[in-house]
Structure 1
Amino acid sequence: MRVLALDAVPRRAIDEHASRGVTVGGLALTMDAHVVVVRLRPGGRIGRHPAAGRQLLVVVSGDATVSGSDGVEVVLGPGQAAVWEPNEPHQTRSVAGLTALVVEGELDVARD
């Protein structure tokens, strides 16, 4: 067994799509999907952009205000997730800061 500390995953800043206060670090990669750790500082945002594939954002800590193609914002907390379909325009922002796992690719995501 190995234990991974999410804080120790090497990260890089993201500024595309008018994003600010965002870092992302690769956690796992398969031929069909990838998993990254996303951090938003307080007041940070990932600007509106189309999902490259089905995308799952799982809130680990903090808050996330997310929206999809309809532009309606929904606030998520730890233990909640958002799913976007391929090519769906979406954005994420955080008031207090956010740590999340993002899984993107060929995913069969549970239904609510």
Structure 2
Amino acid sequence: MRVLTLDTVPRRAIDEHGSRGFTVGGLGITADAHLVVVRLGRGGRIGRHPAAGRQLLLVVEGDASVAGADGVPQHLVPGQAAVWEPGEPHETRSTDGLVAFVVEGDLDVGSHVGAVDAP
């Protein structure tokens, strides 16, 4: 499992059309995949299961405790993502609840997005 922080995504400023304070940065994802929104209630859990394909879980709101094949939980906050490899057993839990995007399938998460140690 890799943990990504969106702050590490290379960005460029956009000022066209009167834009201010606007930057964009690609995650380098190319995919034949699907995107879903997941929500976990307070104390919720997505049980341990193998990833059907490479899977990215991006926390948008709330908190997540994620674990990969090694079973060691890592805490994620909004703006961080976990990436699991195909077949990797994994699980997600939340103390206070969460909203996250999940992209799963034949995807390539760019190597320019640096993996970081979880906080």
Q: Is the structural similarity TM-score above 0.5?
A: yes
Please give the root-mean-square deviation of Cα atoms over the aligned residues, in Å: 1.1
The Cα of 1:110 is off from its aligned counterpart by 2.7
User: What is residue 103 of structure 1 aligned with on the other side?
Assistant: 103
User: What is residue 75 of structure 1 aligned with on the other side?
Assistant: 75
- Please state whether the residue corresponding to 2:55 is helix, strand or coil: strand
- Render the CA deviation track for 1:60-89: whole Å, top value 9, x for unaligned: 000000000000100000000000000000
The Cα of 1:90 is off from its aligned counterpart by 0.1
Please give the TM-score of this superposition, normalised by the length of structure 1: 0.71
User: What is residue 54 of structure 2 aligned with on the other side?
Assistant: 54
User: What is residue 89 of structure 2 aligned with on the other side?
Assistant: 89
- The number of residues matched between the two structures is 82
Please give the TM-score of this superposition, normalised by the length of structure 2: 0.67
User: Quick one: which amino acid aligns to residue 87 of structure 1?
Assistant: G
User: Quick one: which amino acid aligns to residue 44 of structure 1?
Assistant: G
Structure 1 runs (4+) greater than 6 angstroms displaced: none
User: Quick one: which amino acid aligns to residue 50 of structure 1?
Assistant: P
User: Quick one: which amino acid aligns to residue 65 of structure 1?
Assistant: S
Greater RCO (CA < 8 Å, at least 6 residues apart):
2
